[in-house]
Copies of this chain bind each other. A is one copy, B any other.
Amino acid sequence: MNSVLKSLSTEDLTNELNIAKARFEQLKAANLSLDITRGKPGTDQVALSNRLDGILNGDFIAHESKIDSRNYGNFDGLPEAKKLVAPLLGVLPTEVFIGGNSSLSLMYHTIAFATFFGVPNGIAPWGKGAKIIAIVPGYDRHFTLTAELGLELISVPMTAEGPDMDMVEELVKDPTVKGIWCVPKYSNPTGNTYSAKVVDRLAKLGKIATSDFRIIWDNAYEVHHLVQNGDQLTNIMELSRTYGTEDSVLIYGSMSKITFAGAAFAYTGMSPTNLKWFSKHMSMITVGDDKVNQLRHVRMFKDLSDIEMHMQQHAKIINPKFEAFYKVFDQELKDLSYATWTMPNGGYFISVDLINGCASKVVSLAASAGLKLTPAGATFPYGKDPEDKNVRIAPTYPPLTEVEQAAKLFAVCIKVVSLEEELGQR
């Protein structure tokens, strides 16, 4: 609860509430239509990659491998594409599988294969009743697909360093705990990056967990810095090789938020044992993914440094949108401690913690005035935030002027709901 609001007189609170309500009505009268629900790039961001269409200039043959991208074959991807993304995954090019446009789909398939067929070194399919650790708050699509596949989610809190590793290490002693979801860099939604110490402890989990335990390492934001000198993430595959736990690590990434959202390609990095298993099952599903689009990306980016330069242009566009929120939050929410919020060095989200019990009400109130927010609870398994306090802000999609309006409206909603909550308890 909020001790600053508690220290105010009822009269002062009532005054504040009246002012906030008046401002809310004024903003509502503007008939806004704002949407900050999803981590979508803005139109000016996707336009940075417009040259992708036509970049092949009639030359559809990959230059090194001599593969014709327009025909079937090479179902795990162009060698050139593997080489390009291997450093993004922190694995060897031979450990890469290039997928379709969606890393979510690669993760879904891995977990579905594990659930229904079992993983290498597993004695049986994971099956229903297997448990997966979810770091909370986290990414809703991870949680919903896990539940869809009949697996149970166990929440473990996020700390500033990453998952609460004492809890994780205790949990994985249970052999029905088969996996852990991680967004290790610029995590969704908290924006923090796992510390070297936490990555080290995660890399060692394979020594204490059951042999079919897997870390699902969704490194979605590896190069998605908002600032110069962004966070560095420890390479978990390298570490796990030194511990002999490399089969416990499955790494994912996507070009979607680098070039075209939903029209790029995704990739996964795995130990040779896991890769062989994954490829075998994937070969039932597809003859191979879109190599023409892989080749477009290979032509656009020579190497990692090309990608990093390109990402600086993204940062220039979206950093002001994050700053717009911080500015409003500082002005509106700081003095009376209405909320706390993250200020990540990268990624797509701001995570806001309100007074307990206020998140759903703030989301509803904002919706009534034309501001769509991610549903309260979405960042928790089964859509239930036990304290009903977390709201995820995705500021990247709308133009800056709309982001500024959204930030103001959001802050005013927080004030109205928080003050009503405090007054209601007196």
CB contacts (< 8 Å) of A100 on chain B: these are 100-101, 289-290
Please determine whether A53 and B292 come into contact, CB atoms closer than 8 angstroms: yes
Cβ-based interface call for A72 (8 A) = yes
Contact of A263 among B50, B69, B105 (CB under 8 A): B69
Shortest Cβ distance from A57 into B: residue: B54
Given contacts A102-B286, A102-B287, A105-B286, A71 and B46 within 8 Å (CB-CB): yes
Q: A53-B56, A262-B287 are in contact. List 10 more A-B contacts (CB 8 A).
A: A40-B73, A53-B53, A53-B55, A70-B263, A100-B101, A109-B285, A148-B281, A260-B292, A263-B290, A290-B290
Whether B101 lies near A290 (C-beta < 8 A) is yes
A30 adjacent to chain B (CB < 8 Å): no
A112 CB within 8 Å of chain B: yes
As for how many copies of this chain the complex holds, the number is 2
A317 interface hit (Cβ, 8 Å): no
Interface, chain A (partner B; CB < 8 A): 38, 40-41, 43, 46-47, 49-50, 53-58, 60, 68-73, 100-102, 104-105, 108-109, 112, 116, 141, 144-145, 148, 256, 260-263, 281, 284-293, 296
Partner of A293, one of B46, B263, B291: B263
Q: Which residues of B contact A73 (CB under 8 A)?
A: 40, 262
In angstroms, how far is the closest chain B Cβ from the Cβ of A260? 4
Residue of B nearest to A52 (CB): B292
Q: What residues of B have a CB within 8 angstroms of the CB of A256 in the complex? A: 72
| A158 CA / B55 CA spacing, docked (Å) | 46
Complex Cα–Cα for A70 and B53 (A): 11
Show 21 residue pairs from A and B whose CB-CB distance is below 8 angstroms, ordered by the A residue. Answer: A38-B72, A43-B68, A46-B68, A49-B70, A53-B58, A54-B54, A54-B56, A72-B261, A100-B289, A102-B287, A104-B286, A105-B286, A141-B284, A141-B287, A145-B285, A148-B284, A262-B288, A262-B289, A263-B291, A290-B290, A293-B293
Residues of B within 8 A of A263 (CB): 69-70, 290-293
A256 CA to B288 CA, complexed, in Å = 12
CB distance from A132 to the nearest CB of B (A): 14
Residue in chain B with minimal CB distance to A147: B284
Determine how close the nearest CB of chain B comes to the CB of A224; give it in whole angstroms.
Answer: 15
A74 to chain B, nearest CB (A): 9
Residues of B within 8 A of A72 (CB): 38, 40, 256, 261-262
* Closest B residue by C-beta to A150: B116
Chain B nearest CB, measured from A81 CB (Å): 13
Q: Which residues of B contact A40 (CB under 8 A)?
A: 71-73
Q: Chain B residue with minimal CB distance to A397?
A: B71
Residues in B with CB closer than 8 Å to A141 are 284, 287
> B71 near A60 (CB under 8 angstroms)?
no
| 7 shortest interchain CB distances as A-B pairs | A54-B54, A263-B292, A46-B70, A70-B260, A145-B284, A102-B286, A263-B290
The chain B residue sitting closest to A109, CB to CB, is B285
Q: Identify the closest chain B residue to A283 (Cβ).
A: B144
Of B58, B108, B291, which is within 8 A of A285 by CB?
Answer: B108
B residues within 8 A CB of A260? 69-71, 292
Q: Which residues of chain B are near A58, meaning CB under 8 Å? A: 50, 53
CA distance A253 to B101 in the complex (A): 19
Q: Report if A70-B261 is in contact (Cβ < 8 Å); known contacts: A102-B286, A112-B112.
A: yes
For residue A402, give the distance in angstroms from its CB to the closest CB of chain B. 16
Nearest opposing residue in chain B for A286, CB measure: B102
Complex CA distance for A49 and B60, rounded to whole angstroms: 11
Which of A56, A141, A262 has the most B CB atoms < 10 Å from its CB?
Answer: A262
Task: Please report the C-alpha to C-alpha distance between residue A57 and residue B108 in the assembled complex, in whole angstroms.
Answer: 35
Q: How many angstroms between the C-alpha atoms of A204 and B283 in the bound complex?
A: 34
Chain B residues with CB under 8 A of A70? 43, 46-47, 49, 260-261, 263
Complex Cα–Cα for A289 and B104 (A): 12
Residues of B within 8 Å of A46, CB to CB, are 60, 68, 70-71
List B contacts of A292 (CB < 8 A): 53, 260, 263
Q: Are B43 and A71 in contact, CB atoms less than 8 angstroms apart?
A: yes
* A47-B345 Cα distance, complex, nearest whole Å: 45
